[in-house]
Chain A
Amino acid sequence: MFGYTGKIARINLTNKQISNIDTGAYDSWGGGHGIGSAIFWDLCADKTIDGFNPGNVVTIMTSPLAGTLAPTGSRTEVQGIGVQAYPIAWYTRSNFGGRFANMLKAAGWDGIVIEGASDKPVWLNIINDKVTIEDAAGIWGLDTWATQQEIWRRVGGSATYEDWWEVTSARDGGRTTQRPAVLANGPAGEALARNGSLVHDAGAGAGQGGFGGVWGAKKLKAISVIGTGSVKVADPKALMDLRLWLARNHYHNVDDPVRQPAPGMSGLSVARSTSSVANEPNRVTGCASCGFPCKRRSESGTYNDSQCVDGAFYTVTGSVRDSRRATDMMQRAGVNAFESMNFHPYLNTLYKKGELGPGKKIDSAPLDLSQYGTIGFAQAFLDAICSRKGIGNDLAEGAMRAAAKWGTLATALENRELNMPNWGLPAHWSLPEVSWCYGSLMGDRDTNEHCFSFPQWTATQTVGLHAGGLTAEKFVKQVTGKMVPYSDDPFMLDYTWQGPTAEATGIYSDHKAKFIAWHRHYTRFWKQSMLFCDWAFPNFINAQNKNLEGFTPKTEEDCYKAVTGKSLSFAQGIEIGRKIWNLDRAIWILQGRHRDMEKFAPFFYKQYTQSRAQVTVYKDNKWEYSVESKMYIDSPKFESWKTKFFQFEGWDTASGWPKRKTLEDLGLKKVADALASANKLGS
C-alpha cells in the first residue's frame, strides 16, 4: 500500500491484549476521522455509554499523507465519546499537530485504537513494530512536559538525542536522531477533568472533547512512538513537484513575498499569528511537513510551540510575558485552553455579582478571586482543576456542568455571561459567520474550521493593503467556484441576515443549507481524514499568488494521488466526507440527538454588540463586503432553515434523523439497520 502502512495497533487496556487491524479493511474511509469513526462504529458495542466508561473506544488516527512530504498532512485525529459537551457529551473529535503522526507512520502504524481501561496507570511504548504496555509508576502525577521528558529518558536510555541512536539492540533495528514523539495526559486528565487535554511536545494538543479525562478513566498516561521506517509514496516525483509548485506559487516566501501579510494574519503566512509579536529572540517553528510554519520557540523557552487559542488562555494580566507563562502552565497541566479562557472570566463574573467567594452561595476556596488577573491566580485555577480540591471539584466538570450545579447556568446563557452558544463550547467566529455556528450545532462541538474566515481576513488585510484589491464579486465567485460540486451557486456566500433576502438567498436560505452541507462534508474528509491543516486548507484566495488564485481543489486531489497512487476527485472526497458525516450523525442519534435539541443558547437569539467580521452580502443586485456588528439569530427562521438543511442532507425533517435510503445510498445499510433497531431511523 502506498501512503498507508497497512496496520493499526489495537490495544485493550483491560485484558492487556495487543493486536493488529488491517487498514485495508477500512481504507475506503480515507484515513484519519473516516477510519476512526468506522472503527468506533464496529468496536464500540454500546454507543450510549458515558465517555468515562471502559467501553469507550478511542481512536488516534493518521492520514495516508502523514510521514510524506505532503503539506500539513501530519496532524493526528483523536476520536471517541467525549466528556465535555453539554447536556450530552457527544461522540467527538479533536486533532493536533507536531510530529506524532509522522513518527507513528515511520513506526509502521496508521493509527492506534484504545479499548477498555487499565487497573493501574500505564503508558504505551511503540518502537517500530513493537508495542508494549508499560507501568506508569514514576510518571503518573507528572505534568505533560515532565512526562514526555521522562519517557524520552526511558525509551532512549543512554541516547543524548544529539547523535544517531539505535532504537533496538540490533545493528539494523533502525536508527534515528529524533526524540520519541509522545502524546501525554496531564494531571487534569488524571483527575478525570472534563476539560483535560492531551499534549504533544510543548504546545501541540488535542483540547476539545476532554480526551485527557477520557484517558484518565482508562488510566492511560501517555503514548510514546519512535519509528525509523519508510512510508511508501506512489509517485515521489509528482509529490515533490507539487510541493515545489506550492512553494513557488502560493507559499509565503519569507525573504521575498509577493504581498506583505499584515501582522496578525494567520494561515499561509509564516508566523503571522498569536505569537507574532515576540519581545525576545525567537524562531518560527512548524509541524512536520509544514510549508508555512506558524509557531515559535523563544530564548527563555516560554510559549514554545503553542499557538492559536493557547495564547488566549489567560491574558487578563495585561502582560504578554505573563500570559505566555500562563499558557505554559496550562499546557503542563493538560487543561483545555479554549474552554478555560471562557471559564475563569465567568468565575470573576460570579465574584463580581457577589455569588461566588468566601461565605457566598458558591464557596470559591481554595481560589482567591481578589487575585484574579495575577499570574498566581492562573496557577491556582489550574491547580484546583487538577486537584479537584474545594471548588476545583466543580471546575474539573467544566463551565456548563459547574454552572448547572451552582444554579447559575440559565442566567449565564440568557445574558451571555458564558459565551457558549452550542453544546457548551465557546463562541469562536460563530457570528456573523454562520457556517461556524450552524456547523457546530449540527455537529458535536465548536467546529473550529477557519475555511471561510481566513479568506475574508486575507481579502481585507493582506490583499486589502495592496493596490488592486479583491472586489466582493470576485471574492464570491472565486470561493464558490472552488466549492466543487456546488461551484455554480454564488449565493452560498450571501450572509444577508435581515429582511426577505435572508430567507431567499441569505443565512436562512436553501443556498446556505447547501453551503453548510459542503462545509461539513469537505472538512470530514479533506480536513479531518486527510488531515490537512485547518489553517491552510481549503485555500480559496491566496495572497502570495500573483493572481490571488488559491490552491484548492488541485492540491487536495494531487496530493492524494501522488501519495496513494489512487485517483480520487475532489468531489469524490466530498462524497466520502458526506458518508463520514452521516455515520457520525448516526452515532449522535444513538446517543440521543433529536432536532428539538438543536437550538442555540438563548443569548444567541438576542441582539448584543457582537463580534465584528467581514462577510459578503448580495444587496441591490450586487455583491459587497459587510461588517455585521449587531447580528443575532431569528429563532423561527432558523428552525425553517434546519428543515431546509435536513431536506438537503436526506434526513427526516421532523427529527433530523437520516432516512434509510440516504444511508443505504452511502453504503451504510448496517447503520440504517442499527438506527431502525433503536427506533431512530428517519422516515
Chain B
Amino acid sequence: MAEEAKGIARREFLKGLGAGIIGGGLLVTGVFTATKTGIVSEVGIGKIKKLAVPASEGYIVVDTRKCSGCQSCMLACSLVNEGVGNPSLSRIQILQNTFGNFPLDISQAQCRQCVYPSCLYACPTGALHFDEKTGVRSVYEDACIGCQRCVQACPNTPSRVVWDYQDSHAEKCDLCLGAKYFSETGGPGGKQACVEVCPMKAIKFTGEIPVQTGKAGYDVNLRTTNWAANISPNVVGATAPTPAEGIYFNYTPPATK
C-alpha cells in the first residue's frame, strides 16, 4: 500500500511538472528545496543560480590498491537500500579488469558528497537535495521526474548518481542515512554498509572534507602493517614484518591481541 501511494504522488507530480517544462519550453536550471515529506517548493525556477549548500558532515574514502574487487560493497549497498542484490543499483561501483595490471586493474567509484554538488544544482525538482541536518546529498526518489540531469551532471566517471532503470528514478549515496534494510544507524555519525562489509577494510568513513585531487581524490592510503603482512613485504606503500624462517610451524607472528 505504501508503495502504491508513493507512486501515485510521484506520477501526479511528474504530470504537472512535465506540462510545465514541455509546454512552457522553459530551461529549468534552478534549485528546489524539499522537505522530508516529499513536498517540493520552488525557490529558483527559471533562474541560473547556484545555491550555496552546506558541506556534508561525512565522506567515504577508499583505497583502490587495497580493494579486492569482491563487490561485497556493491551488493551490501543494493541490499540495505533496495532490499535486493543488484550491482547495477549500487551507489558505489567497483570497476575491474581481471586481465589488468595492478593497480590499474581496479577502480572504486564512490560518491564524493561534493562541496559544490553539480548533481544537486542540475536537479529541476529538488529531488536531489541536501539533508538539512547532516548536509548529505541525497535523493527524494518520489520527487524524481527521471530527467537524468543529475546523472549527467556528475563530474565523475562513472556518474556517482545511479539510474534505477527498473523504477525510473535517480539514486545516490547518502552514507546510508536512508537505508531501509540496515539494522545499524546510517549517515554521518552512524555506519555505512560498504565500510562495514568490506573484507579488505578498503573503504572508510571520514567526517573531514578530503582533498579533491582530480581523479585520485578521495583515494587514500588505508594500508596498515597488519594488512601488509598478509600481502607481501614489498608492496607499494606498506612494509610488512618479514616472516621468520620456516613456514608452517616455525613462523613467528607479529604481536597479537
Contact = CB atoms under 8 A, between A and B. Distances in A.
Direct contact of A and B (CB under 8 A): yes
Interface of A: 67-69, 98-99, 102, 105-106, 145, 148-149, 161-164, 171-179, 201-203, 228-233, 236-237, 239-241, 243-244, 247, 251-264, 269-272, 276-293, 297-301, 304-305, 460-461, 464-466
A156 B106 CA distance: 19
24 contacts: A99-B71, A102-B85, A106-B86, A148-B99, A162-B158, A164-B158, A176-B87, A202-B99, A230-B85, A231-B85, A232-B84, A237-B181, A240-B76, A243-B72, A254-B199, A254-B201, A254-B224, A259-B253, A262-B253, A270-B199, A283-B68, A284-B230, A289-B70, A293-B70
Interface in B139-172: 157-159, 163, 165-166, 168
A661 to B, nearest CB: 41
A201 B99 CA distance: 8
B79 A106 contact: no
Interface stretch (B7-15, B18-26, B128-136, B231-239): B231-239
B216 to A, nearest CB: 15
A231 B226 contact: no
B200 A284 contact: yes
Interface in B207-257: 224, 226-227, 229-232, 234-236, 243, 247-249, 251-254, 256-257
Contacts of B249: 262, 460-461, 464
Contacts of B105: 283, 297, 301, 304
Interface string B174-193: 00000001111000000001
Interface of B: 65-72, 75-76, 78-80, 82-89, 93, 95, 97-103, 105-107, 109, 157-159, 163, 165-166, 168, 181-184, 193, 196-197, 199-201, 224, 226-227, 229-232, 234-236, 243, 247-249, 251-254, 256-257
Contact of A228 (B97, B165, B252): B165
Contacts of A174: 88, 165
Given A282-B232, A465-B251, A173 B182 contact: no
Contacts of B72: 69, 243, 286, 289-291
A293 B71 contact: no
Given A172-B165, A233-B85, A240-B183, A255 B67 contact: no
Given A297-B102, A301-B99, A278 B75 contact: no
B68 A173 contact: no
- Most interface-central of B67, B71, B247 (chain A CB within 10 A): B71
A283 B165 contact: no
A251 to B, nearest CB: 6
A281 B200 contact: no
A98 B96 CA distance: 12
A299 B158 contact: no
B229 A260 contact: yes
B101 A299 contact: yes
A240 B193 contact: yes
Contacts of B254: 260
B183 A241 contact: yes
B98 A201 contact: yes
